[in-house]
A and B are shown apart, each in its own frame.
Chain A
Amino acid sequence: MTFSKRSLITLLILAIILGASYYFFATRGITYIWHWEKIPEMLFYHGAKSAEDAVPRLRMGILMIGFVLTLKISVFSILFAIIIGTIVGIARLSNEPVTKGLSLAYVEVIRNTPLLVQIYIIYFFVGSLLRLSAFAAGTAALSIFAGAYVGEIVRAGIQSIHKGQMEASRSLGMGYAQAMRYVILPQAFKRIIPPLAGQFISLIKDSSLVSVIALADLMFQGQQAVARTYHAFEIYFTVAFLYLVMTFTLSMATQYIERRLAISD
């Protein structure tokens, strides 16, 4: 109890110092007139959109539209990254040289080249060949990128399960795939939730790179809004805060899942 009281006071003092220095440097250091009042309408506004859609109602502002797209691309990419990562993680442990070699090559190539370059290659080269939309290309690039990291996490997770688990499953007559599905992977996934959460938080933040292929994500819309209004500080702070909302929610969700799964410990 004394501890929490003390840390509360520490936090309060820290907040006051931060707040004071923020105002000092932001207003004295440079000449900048703050227009925080312009931000709410970039999130939600009430009114007409255009001449064709003139019905006045509550609509999403430019930043909120970007937020939704970032959320969408992140959710899809996380789902695909889990699928790719699980397959690659199992393939990395295969005794079959071709499967093992290919999965290793994938992991090494993807982990050792910049995501930005991968996005360009997938959008301009692969995307043109397969006629992918910017959204599909962006999702593909992020999934393939994160999939390589998730693959390594899954592999480490599987290897961390005692080999007696596989032996017990096999001795009961389960095939390799059944043992993986019912015994090994459920235990491995429970163990790799913390590193997976870190990876997916990275993915959400990395998704800001898809703005380079003209996908109107949160970052892209932020840049547009800055270009139009010149309220760079307010908008970028807001953009950062919106990313924080997504990543922090994910953090909390994984901690909740961890606690739920801890009942068998």
Chain B
Amino acid sequence: MIEARNVYKTFKTPDRREVKALVDFSTRIEKGEVVVIIGPSGSGKSTFLRCLNRLEEIDSGEIIIDGIDIYGKKVNINEIREEIGMVFQLFNLFPHKTVLENVTLAQLVVRGRDKEEATKVARGLLRKVGILEKESVYPSQLSGGQQQRVAIARALAMHPKIMMFDEATSALDPEMIGEVLDVMKTLAREGMTMVVVTHEMGFAREVSDRVVFMDEGQIVEEGTAEHFFTNPTHERTKLFLSQIL
């Protein structure tokens, strides 16, 4: 479903140094697969996610999603993005819109659904993430965990084929992490294709099909969560796991 081939991505820092975020990066993600990407900060894991929907542009290589080279010249990136939901570390809900409006907006203006249908879809998803009773409040009145659940509902409302989570629980207070992970676990069990950047090893162990450990823009090691917890082979992996577990 997703294939990255020899992707290079370099950032320029303000003082004109070059930082290599992705170096000859290749991977395949199958339909229905739940892939968890772990790694130290600056290892390129968020960059990889952001290249999958072109929030960042790659320098070279190719990324193919559902048979379409998303960096191809004739590609309408907005159509690709409709199929890829993204959940951000800082939620990025629209603060001037109510919870319900947050979930209906893109349905109305991008999917072209009428208001009644969009509202129905939104209510269904808000119920699914357990926050329907808050549909008419503004995001600022919600806790972090509630906001992130609304953000997940907002992404799901487009009925995407792939969901990406960019450190979705990193900005949350510890007692709210569980409620967001529960929603993510439900999605995983329903067969959603998921690419998840996280430090939550419990989540990885419980639902992931594959764990990818990245460092310095490359995949150092990949395998099942079980493999990572019982016998990681590389020194860097061992060092990293010893630090976060």
Please report A residues at the B interface, Cβ cutoff 8 Å.
162, 164-165, 167-175, 178, 182-183, 186-187, 190, 261, 263-265
Contacts and interface: CB of A to CB of B under 8 A. Distances in A.
Contacts of A187: 94-96
B92 A165 contact: yes
24 contacts: A164-B88, A164-B90, A169-B94, A170-B81, A171-B53, A171-B81, A171-B85, A172-B105, A172-B106, A172-B155, A173-B78, A173-B81, A173-B82, A173-B106, A173-B110, A174-B106, A174-B109, A178-B109, A178-B110, A182-B105, A182-B109, A186-B96, A264-B140, A265-B138
Contacts of B168: none
Contacts of B225: none
Interface of B: 53, 55, 78-79, 81-82, 84-86, 88, 90, 92-98, 105-106, 109-111, 138, 140, 151, 154-155, 158
Given A164-B88, A168-B92, A264-B95, 17 more contacts: A162-B92, A165-B94, A167-B88, A168-B88, A168-B93, A169-B94, A169-B106, A171-B85, A172-B82, A172-B105, A172-B158, A173-B78, A173-B110, A174-B106, A187-B94, A264-B98, A264-B138
Contacts of A261: 96
Given A187-B95, A264-B95, A171 B86 contact: yes
Given A263-B138, A264-B138, A174 B92 contact: no
Nearest to A187: B96
A182 B93 CA distance: 13
Nearest to B82: A173
Nearest to A165: B92
B110 A174 contact: yes
Given A178-B109, A264-B140, A190 B78 contact: no
Contacts of B158: 172-173
A196 B82 CA distance: 36
B15 to A, nearest CB: 21
Contacts of A162: 90, 92
B86 A264 contact: no
A58 B194 CA distance: 75
Contacts of A178: 109-110
Given A167-B92, A264-B138, A174 B86 contact: no
A263 to B, nearest CB: 7
Contacts of A167: 55, 88, 92
B78 A175 contact: yes
Nearest to B53: A171
A40 to B, nearest CB: 47
Contact of A168 (B94, B98, B111): B94
What are the 10 closest A-B residue pairs judged by CB atoms, nearest first? Answer: A173-B82, A168-B92, A172-B106, A164-B92, A171-B86, A264-B138, A173-B110, A173-B81, A173-B78, A264-B96
A190 B92 contact: no
B205 to A, nearest CB: 28
Nearest to A173: B82
B81 A265 contact: no
Contacts of A183: 94, 105
A182 B78 CA distance: 16
A122 B105 CA distance: 43
Among the interface residues A173, A174, A175, A182, which one has the most CB atoms of the partner chain B within 10 A? A173
Contacts of A170: 55, 78, 81
A190 B109 contact: no
A81 B212 CA distance: 54
Contacts of A265: 95, 138, 140
B138 A174 contact: no
B211 to A, nearest CB: 24
A172 B155 CA distance: 7
Nearest to A176: B78
Nearest to B140: A265
A168 B91 CA distance: 9
